[in-house]
Amino acid sequence: MTDTAVRVHPQTSAMTPVPYRVRSRVLENADSVTLDLEPVGTALPEPAPGEFNMLYAFGVGEIAISVSGLPGGGAITHTIRSVGAVSAALCAAQPGSTVGVRGPFGTSWGLDTAVGRDLVIVAGGVGLAPLRPVVLGALAERDRYGRVVLIAGARTLAEFLYADEVAAWQQSPGLEVHQTVDVPIHGWLGETGFVTEPLRRLSLEPGRTTAFLCGPEPMMQFGAKALLDKGVGGADIRLSLERNMQCGVGWCGHCQLGPLLLCRDGPVVTYEVAGPLLQVEEL
């Protein structure tokens, strides 16, 4: 499904950040920002959806951030949630400023291996960011896929990413969108509850369905179980897992999950592989 080989910029080390300029900055919600980055000089290889880059805030540090847009012209897109010193510095980066980029690393969603199949895309909170390229890729080549369903959830309406884009997707005849909030709120006319609720109600053809899940681990576990209960095979359920990625190339071991090093063997893995590991407490 995926290519796990480490791809290195031809003129530099995999550990050397390459300068990228912030071309645009979009505030998505109270704590999340989307940065569109362009190379200052020679571009790194274009990342595939599901892969990640190490983003470096000069003088602060670096973190792993999944790609959240389709590649094109050497530019890359990342949606970042401010939860620590490095992510806060990256979220504060203004157009024209420079950040460092290493990558791309990891495994992809493998959307091209799902051609001819129905797609079920399940995103919890900021998990919509790594899944956005799956939606965009499916819409860009809509005739290559069967039914395409997006289930996106957040704690509150204000926490959704890509509000305008999701609203446009809801009007698209080629995409079935279920948007849900965790608890009822005044004025909300959409669905209420965790993403597993519309997923359980969903009718599908399990033998021709490929599912993509990203969000908190409990959400992915319950979502995968709902899909398994409907007959979808574990090999057809793909998850993006998160651990403490520090090197990106499988050297430091900080992102270990059982026998996996997620910067090398993930972040995208099938539930067939991830399921038994996620059952082990504290692994």
77-135 tens-digit pLDDT: 999 999 999 999 999 999 999 999 999 999 999 999 999 999 999 999 999 999 999 99
Strand ranges inside 40-168, DSSP E: 52-57, 61-66, 76-81, 98-105, 118-124, 148-154
Q: What was the pLDDT predicted at 226?
A: 97
Q: What was the pLDDT predicted at 12?
A: 58
Q: What was the pLDDT predicted at 93?
A: 98
Mean pLDDT of the chain: 93
For residue 213, the SS3 value is strand
Out of 2-11, 102-111, 150-159, the most confident range is 102-111
Q: For the whole model, what pTM was predicted?
A: 0.93
The Cα–Cα gap between 134 and 48 comes to 10
Tell me what the mean pLDDT of segment 144-152 comes to: 98
Per-residue pLDDT band at 20 (split at 50, 70, 90): very high
Per-residue pLDDT band at 14 (split at 50, 70, 90): confident
The Cα–Cα gap between 99 and 189 comes to 41
Residue 84: count other Cβ atoms within 10 Å of its Cβ.
11
Task: Sketch the domain layout of the chain as residue ranges.
Answer: 18-105, 111-240
Lowest mean pLDDT among 6-10, 63-67, 176-180: 6-10
Q: What is the DSSP letter of 206?
A: G
Under 8 Å CB-to-CB from 46, ≥6 apart: which residues? 71, 72, 74, 76, 104
Site of tokens 């080549």:
141
Instruction: Select the CATH number that applies to the domain covering 18-105 from these four: 3.40.47.40, 2.40.30.10, 1.10.540.10, 2.40.50.180.
Output: 2.40.30.10
CATH number of 111-240: 3.40.50.80
Dihedral angle of Cα 56, 26, 171, 223, to the nearest 10 degrees = 40
Question: Has residue 11 got a pLDDT over 90?
Answer: no
Per-residue pLDDT band at 73 (split at 50, 70, 90): confident
- 247-271 pLDDT per residue, tens: 999 999 999 999 999 999 999 999 9
